[in-house]
Amino acid sequence: MTDASMQTPETGRRGTSLTATDERTRKRARAEKRFRLYGIIAIATGLFFLVVLFASILREGIPAFTRTVVSVEFTLTPEQREEAEGTLFKTKAYSDLFIAQLNKELAESGISVDFDEAAIERLLGKVGGTIRAFYTENPDRLGEPIEFDLAASSRVDGYFKGRVSRDTLQDSRFLQLSDLDLVDALKEAGIIKQAFNWPFITGADSGVDNPGGAGIGASVVGSFFMMLVVLVLSLPIGVAASIYLEEFAPQNKFTDLIEVNISNLAAVPSIVFGILGLAVFIQFMHLPQSAPLVGGLVLTLMTLPTIIISTRASLKAVPPSIRDAALGVGASKMQAVFHHVLPLAAPGILTGTIIGLAQALGETAPLLLIGMVGFVARGYPDGFLAGFTEPNSAMPAQIYTWAARADVGFYEKAWGGIIILLMFLLTMNIIAIILRRRFERRW
């Protein structure tokens, strides 16, 4: 029986005890602790920047979901409407009636302030036209008290949200310093207030002078129809190509060339696909410009390499024993693939597909090249089929359009649009996780 502490014949030194920790072991342990510390620092740094990013988005974007409105209870009698319709300047007559009612509510609150029709127009826009349009569409509401929630201009909204102050405001055709006295009086009377901005979620883009009326709803619909095209085309084509290349294609120079090109296409900048779509689908095939159909075709070309690569990786992850067992009991090659391999690879395929769709949803450059810019979306499509062919925009293109405009109100809307876009992406990733858990099988 040997003693670990005895001298070794090779070195002439006393051996190290098995229970003692030598310097080299301690050095390796310290290196391992440092590596773990580096990993923790890296994760903490990533989480820190992620928190900063989300906090910045929420801080800048949440104000877009509120707007400043003036709530006035207005009653129009049939006699007043008949008199207003009989004048030469009809909208002015309705505006005068509104101003009289506003003065009455201020007087009831014990507040007196001087203002004219021009001040009301700077604060609320064409009030007379709004009221006249309402009673033209709803003549049965004459004589009833109607509470009108009229959206204030973007500068008044900025005054409530802190973007505009008396010290920085300069008189212009949009807002004057004296108008803020009227705003303060309306606030004191409880007539002007903050409300949830439903038109931002349900509306369409507006002109460059009206950031308060801009909405992202039409662009959301455009993105929806565009993603339908991408899903219907990219999923079956990508999965079929992956199954053939991975399970049936012979290994030769031709298939090697195809695989190399697929990998290269996954790294091609998205703007190249936009140029391709402009040249092929619009200029050559004469498909409707700015239509979600064209946008979907362009994004399908861009998404296919990602889906093919992820699907092939999922098929490779299935153990060869599954194929051998199916072939061993008499199944054909196609039966082994479609009845055994494909169901086991389905979670990875679905995850890769939804990730590819999420990537396509956030692309901007190819959509700008084919004309899917923000100002083409003037409303919702007339029907389901029209949703594919009528000009529309998409959420990332709409956000880019708002961010490029000079008014600070549009910049706020751009941040709000980013929040909605992130909600879509988060929803798609949650669906990917649910589908993965639903179809996941263990072997």
pLDDT given for residue 174 in this prediction: 81
pLDDT given for residue 12 in this prediction: 47
User: For the chain, how many structural domains are there in total?
Assistant: 3
82/49 same-domain check: no
298/229 Cα distance (integer angstroms): 10
pLDDT given for residue 305 in this prediction: 92
126/87 same-domain check: yes
263/392 same-domain check: yes
Q: Is residue 205 part of a domain?
A: no
pLDDT given for residue 428 in this prediction: 81
Entry pTM = 0.82
110/177 same-domain check: yes
169/221 same-domain check: no
395/115 Cα distance (integer angstroms): 40
Q: Is residue 16 part of a domain?
A: no
Q: Is residue 52 part of a domain?
A: yes
Pull the structure tokens for residue 269.
């900048």
**Residue ending a domain, choose from 132, 166, 196:** 196
Q: Is residue 4 part of a domain?
A: no
Q: What is the CATH number of the domain that holds 287?
A: 1.10.3720.10
Q: Is residue 396 part of a domain?
A: yes
408/386 Cα distance (integer angstroms): 34
pLDDT given for residue 17 in this prediction: 61
Q: Is residue 18 part of a domain?
A: no
Please list the pLDDT of the chain residue by residue as tens digits (443 residues): 445 444 544 444 555 566 677 888 888 889 999 999 999 999 999 999 999 999 999 999 999 999 999 888 888 888 888 888 888 888 888 888 888 888 888 888 888 787 778 888 888 888 888 888 888 888 888 888 888 888 888 888 888 888 888 888 887 888 888 888 888 888 888 888 888 999 899 888 887 777 878 889 889 999 999 999 999 999 999 999 999 999 888 888 888 899 889 988 888 888 999 999 999 999 999 998 889 999 999 999 999 999 999 999 999 988 888 888 888 888 888 899 998 899 888 888 888 888 888 888 888 889 888 888 766 666 788 888 988 998 888 899 899 988 888 778 888 899 999 999 999 888 888 887 887 777 766 65
pLDDT given for residue 18 in this prediction: 61
Q: Is residue 5 part of a domain?
A: no
Q: Is residue 245 part of a domain?
A: yes
55/88 same-domain check: no
109/104 Cα distance (integer angstroms): 9
User: What is the per-residue DSSP string for 117-165?
Assistant: HHHHHHHHS-HHHHHHHHHHH-GGGTTSEEEEEEEPPHHHHHHHHTS--
Domain span including residue 337:
217-439
Query: Do residues 301 and 270 make contact, with C-beta atoms less than 8 angstroms apart?
Result: no
Q: Which of 227, 228, 206, 202 is nearest to 216 (CA)?
A: 202
